[in-house]
Each structure stands twice: as structure tokens, then as C-alpha cells.
Amino acid sequence: MPNINAGDFRKGLKIMLDGDPYDMLEVNFVKPGKGQALYKCRLRNLLKNTIIDRTFKSGDGLESADVRKGEGQFLYREKDTLVFMDQESFEQYTVPTSLMDGRDVWLLDGAICTLTYHNDRVIEVEPPSHVNVKITYTEPAVRGNTSGNITKAATVETGGEVQVPAFIDTGETVRIDTRTGEYVERVKV
């Protein structure tokens, strides 16, 4: 495995620490008045989904994590698991819903997601950044409340709930940002 020098640390880097793969969420360079430069890092364990803070000296190095990314198609849901098919090898992988941090409510059948693998095991699922979903239920708009920034709750076809503007009705299609779970725009079908 290649050794990564502390000077090359950056956000998004995948490294091995204590036998587990980690993702660098934040890297801050600190140069005190005396002594060595320090790199204060916030790391997320890709297997346990925990976040830790570590400080490294300028001469330190870490091992690169053996992770790869690929596309996978969402096939179906089974109780507390999701089934994906790798787009290259056509192998099926079963992933616990807890790995998605609640963003699994935006998955439509057949959606293409980015899968991260470590030792031929899926450790991270990134859904498409935006999805178009149909509103299955929302309260009708009250006369006079259709202008301005007034929102109301709506349930979509995947079972998720989102705040939409008052002018959106049941049966309409809307675009949702899966990273934040927020309404983006109404989509003409």
C-alpha cells in the first residue's frame, strides 16, 4: 500500500487507521510558533460510521485505504436491508438501511447509486443527488396562502416526507435534493 505523507492530507482522502478505512472529512493545518507543523483531522470510520478527531505531525504518514467506487442499481428493499446490483460485475449486494443515514427514503426502483467497496464489501452508498418523485398526499392549498414562502408537508411515492410550497398538489412531480431532503422545484411531466 502506498504511504501518504501528512503534507498530502486533504478532504475526501481514504486512509487506513487502526485497521479500519477512514474518510477525511476535514483537514486543518496549524503552525505553532515553535515546533513542528500539525495537521488536525476529522475522520469518519467507513465501517462503523463514527467520527473521530486526530492530530498528526508534519513528518507522519498513513497507509492509503484499499477502497474503490462503482455504480450500482437499486433493485429492491427487504425489511431492514437494500439490494443493489453492481453495474460492471452484475453481482448483487445486500446493504443495511442504516448505512444510508435515512436517505434510503429517496430511492426509486432502478436508481443508479455510487457504491464504495472495501474488501469486496459495500461500505458506503451515495444515492443520486436529485430525484424526481410523485406526491402521493398533501393537504390542499388554502385560498390566499398560495403566494409567499408558505410550505406544507407532503408524502411522496417512496414514503418520504418533504416540505413543499403551498401551490403543490397531490399527483404532481417534484425534484428533491437527496443530500438535504429538501424540495428543489416542480417538474413538468
92 and 104 in a single domain? The answer is yes
CATH number of the domain encompassing residue 168? 2.40.50.140
Among 62, 45, 65, residue whose Cα is nearest residue 53: 45
CA–CA separation, 188 and 138 (whole Å): 18
State pLDDT tens for residues 47-91. Answer: 888 899 999 998 888 998 888 889 999 999 998 999 999 999 999
Paired with 132 in beta bridges are 175
Q: What is the pTM of this model?
A: 0.75
Statement: residue 1 has pLDDT above 50: no
State pLDDT tens for residues 166-178. Answer: 888 899 999 999 9
CA–CA separation, 57 and 38 (whole Å): 5
Q: How many domains, the chain?
A: 3
CATH number of the domain encompassing residue 57? 2.30.30.30
Determine how many CB atoms are found less than 10 A away from the CB of residue 42.
16
Range of the domain at 101: 67-126
